[in-house]
């Protein structure tokens, strides 16, 4: 199974830092002090000083900074692009205007941008209508307070949001969502929902609001993994609400939110702990009950053992 969810290592304290804050910290903590020290010693290092001047010029122009970040996420140097590549970068910025969603997508596809955009266009065209989830907008509103809780670590944000969604759906902790078909029905989808072919690179799926209701397209990877991918996409939309975003094999804060949401939505930790510690049920039995990947159940227990005595 390719899918992974936050394990014990993901429970370590984390600080959510915006990329622009990191850039400023690097400039103020490294680049400018080095350049200043060289000047004070009357050493004119032309490459360093010219690079610093270029960086400062970029950050003074938001549109150029956006272009450079996007190119960098694709593994490209923004100053070594031909006209065609530069046009592709600009097109991706227009297609995914929200920066965090765009940088995740770019990092997932890298040099397979054209192929990935073709996959995305095809899936939206073929499944955008049939894969709409008409109940997701109202469910997202029922969970929206979780998006305003500042300071939460990514997995905590996902967990809280999933608990609110299960409550909104009227599901007690031991009730299964019912696999792909059951989850789609709970979210207001129809019987025409279908999974997609394998996506390029580390891309696993997308969610888009180009239709009347949010639509989700994910790669078909077997019942349990496909259900988990759908839940990840639902968690991304519910937590961020962007017009378009991706599910990917990345370990960014955004993807961590989706993974934690999906784990708690499909196999609530409270129920997993209770079934193991009070009923002596195995990981496989619980995974079969919830229709979730076994690894999800394992990690839900490992991260929460003894917490629900």
Asked if residue 88 belongs to a domain, the reply is yes
Q: What is the per-residue pLDDT for 14?
A: 38
Asked if residue 97 belongs to a domain, the reply is yes
Same structural domain for residues 107 and 175? no
Same structural domain for residues 162 and 258? yes
Same structural domain for residues 105 and 145? no
Comparing 8 with 292, the larger pLDDT belongs to 292
For 236, the domain range is: 136-266
Asked if residue 173 belongs to a domain, the reply is yes
Asked if residue 203 belongs to a domain, the reply is yes
Asked if residue 271 belongs to a domain, the reply is no
pLDDT tens for each residue of 196-207: 999 999 999 999
Same structural domain for residues 98 and 182? no
Strand order in the sheet with 203-208: 215-218, 203-208, 244-248
Same structural domain for residues 157 and 248? yes
pLDDT tens for each residue of 290-300: 999 999 999 99
Q: What is the largest CA-CA distance in the chain?
A: 75
Asked if residue 229 belongs to a domain, the reply is yes
Residue 16 has pLDDT above 60, yes or no: no
Tally the domains of the chain.
Answer: 2
Q: What is the per-residue pLDDT for 1?
A: 38
Same structural domain for residues 142 and 256? yes
Same structural domain for residues 89 and 166? no
Q: Alpha carbon 96 to chain centroid distance?
A: 14
Same structural domain for residues 141 and 95? no
Which strand (E) or helix (H) includes residue 26?
helix 19-26
């Amino acid at each position: 199974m390719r899918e992974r969810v936050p394990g014990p290592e993901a429970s370590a304290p984390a600080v959510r830092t915006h990329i622009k804050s990191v850039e400023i910290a690097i400039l103020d903590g490294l680049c400018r002090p080095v350049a200043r020290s060289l000047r004070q010693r009357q050493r004119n290092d032309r490459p360093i000083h010219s690079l610093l001047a270029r960086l400062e010029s970029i950050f003074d122009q938001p549109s150029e900074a956006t272009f450079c970040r996007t190119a960098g996420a694709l593994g490209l140097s923004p100053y070594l692009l031909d006209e065609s590549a530069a046009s592709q970068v600009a097109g991706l910025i227009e297609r995914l205007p929200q920066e965090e969603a765009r940088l995740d997508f770019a990092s997932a596809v890298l040099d397979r941008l054209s192929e990935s955009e073709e996959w995305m266009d095809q899936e939206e065209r073929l499944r955008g209508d049939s894969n709409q989830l008409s109940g997701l907008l109202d469910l997202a509103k029922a969970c929206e307070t979780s998006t305003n809780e500042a300071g939460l670590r990514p997995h905590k944000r996902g967990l809280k949001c999933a608990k609110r969604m299960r409550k909104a759906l009227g599901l007690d902790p031991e009730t299964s969502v019912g696999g792909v078909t059951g989850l789609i029905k709970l979210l207001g989808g129809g019987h025409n929902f279908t999974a997609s072919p394998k996506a390029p690179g580390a891309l696993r799926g997308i969610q888009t609001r180009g239709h009347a209701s949010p639509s989700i397209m994910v790669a078909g990877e077997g019942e349990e993994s496909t259900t988990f991918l759908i839940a990840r996409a639902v968690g991304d939309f519910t937590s961020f609400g962007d017009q378009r975003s991706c599910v990917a094999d990345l370990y960014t804060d955004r993807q961590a939110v989706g993974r934690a949401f999906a784990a708690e939505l499909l196999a609530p930790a409270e129920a997993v702990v209770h079934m193991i510690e009070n009923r002596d049920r195995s990981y496989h039995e619980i995974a079969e009950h919830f229709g979730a990947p076994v690894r999800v159940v394992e990690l839900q227990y490992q991260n929460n053992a003894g917490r629900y005595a």
